[in-house]
Amino acid sequence: MDNNSNCGCWTILRSSVRSCKSSDSRNSTTSITRSSLVYDAATESRYLNASNREMCVADEGRNSVSEDPNSDAVAPENKPLHQLLQFSFQELKAATGSFRPDSILGEGGFGYVFKGWIEENGTAPAKPGSGTTVAVKSLKPDGLQGHREWVAEVDFLGQLHHPNLVKLIGYCIEDDQRLLVYEFMTRGSLENHLFRRTIPLPWSNRIKIALGAAKGLAFLHTGPEPVIYRDFKTSNILLDSEYNAKLSDFGLAKAGPQGDKTHVSTRVVGTYGYAAPEYVMTGHLTSKSDVYSFGVVLLEILTGRRSMDKKRPSGEQNLVTWARPYLSEKRKVYQVVDPRLELNYSIKGVQKVAQLAHSCLSKDTKSRPSMEEVVKVLTPLQHLNDLAILNYHTRFSQTGRRRFPPPGKRDRKTDSGHQPNLNQSKATVRDSNLTSAQHHCK
């Protein structure tokens, strides 16, 4: 413990015996004894294989307090050390305007997330609109996500660094207060964009988000000490101003199997509708459990439907059960595409996404792809321009214009003196598109 005294007393924080702070932590960073996975741009070409771990260097030497007490990882000498800011409760209270209700960004089993502002180079609060915008997660004393999950969040996000993981800026542990401070994600969660916005999320953005999330999972799975995310879902995928996806909420993350072990045995936790069936049945957790969850999210991105929706007819409430029969047949897959996209999606992109989702959702875990393989499939889909609407217009121009009058004449009466049925016209266009797409697949 003496060797850790200059690095934040991580072990003490873990056991929740007491909190500890460096005497000068108010306006400077507090080193925490953690190993660090640092993103290296060169790994992008190798689909985000993790680099070597880094260690916090104490005055007496290097110390690791990872989940594996026998870890023998060594810090590269030429790598920068990662440091987390340690905030006081009063600083975060001031930064969020006393945790005003109108600053709430979201709520979960853990508690509320508030929007706040801090000075750029320290922990001091800043005026709204100035300094650095942050998201402050406050743990309820009686929250479903207890102190153990709070520590897991700091544990993993304190050591994992990658463009597709949300950045943890710092934390507060003071008396019974437990708070975490993250970078602020401008566009909120994928869940909001898919299910709560009136304007549909464009197809190109959906592919970009799916790819970014896949890269985040691939990074977690391929490190020297693999991590299983265990709670992959749309509400945990946050978006910045450019729709770059970042995984958040690592409270349920678990160190993956190592050596000869094939799985980790653990209590079954997560979100109903996303959890892999073999994990629910046996409690055996592997990276392929995350792959299944990714397949569910990919289905939500494709269909615009929630993984579980009790408001739908009985045969359609479970998204995987409803959509699975359509995914393996090219001619049927267009029937499950989010209707709000109309014809603004890539024909080949839809086919590839459907095939990929079908593979990820395989009941045989060995048949599911790795997340590195998922990244390889999704990467070229960003550049496809074979939009269904263009395909439709091409076929429409070849078959003549009698069936569908030009846009400027659609509000005129027909020869029989009746207004055209616009709803019927839209349905006809969609049916024509399905026929066109099916013809394209031959």
Tokens of 199: 């304007």
Q: Confirm whether residue 137 is marked as ligand binding.
A: yes
Sign of the CA dihedral 152, 156, 159, 162? negative
Contact 84, 29 (CB under 8 A): yes
Give the phi and the psi of residue 227 in degrees, each rounded to 5.
-125, 135
Cα dihedral 22, 28, 29, 31 in deg (nearest 10): -40
| Among the listed residues 272, 302, 279, 276, the one whose alpha carbon sits nearest the alpha carbon of residue 291 | 276
175 belongs to the catalytic site: no
How distant, in Å, are the alpha carbons of 299, 312, 316 from that of 309? 13, 6, 8
- How many CB atoms sit inside 10 A of residue 261's CB? 10
User: Kindly report the CA angle at 370 between 288 and 276, in degrees rounded to 5?
Assistant: 20
* Backbone angle region of 87, left / alpha / beta, with phi > 0 → left and psi within -120 to 50 → alpha: beta
Tokens of 278: 């073999």
Beta strands at 264-265 and 36-37: parallel, antiparallel or unpaired: unpaired
Active-site residue (options: 59, 155, 231, 415):
231
Tokens of 223: 């490190």
Residues designated catalytic: 231
* Annotated binding-site residue numbers for ATP: 137
* Annotated binding-site residue numbers: 137
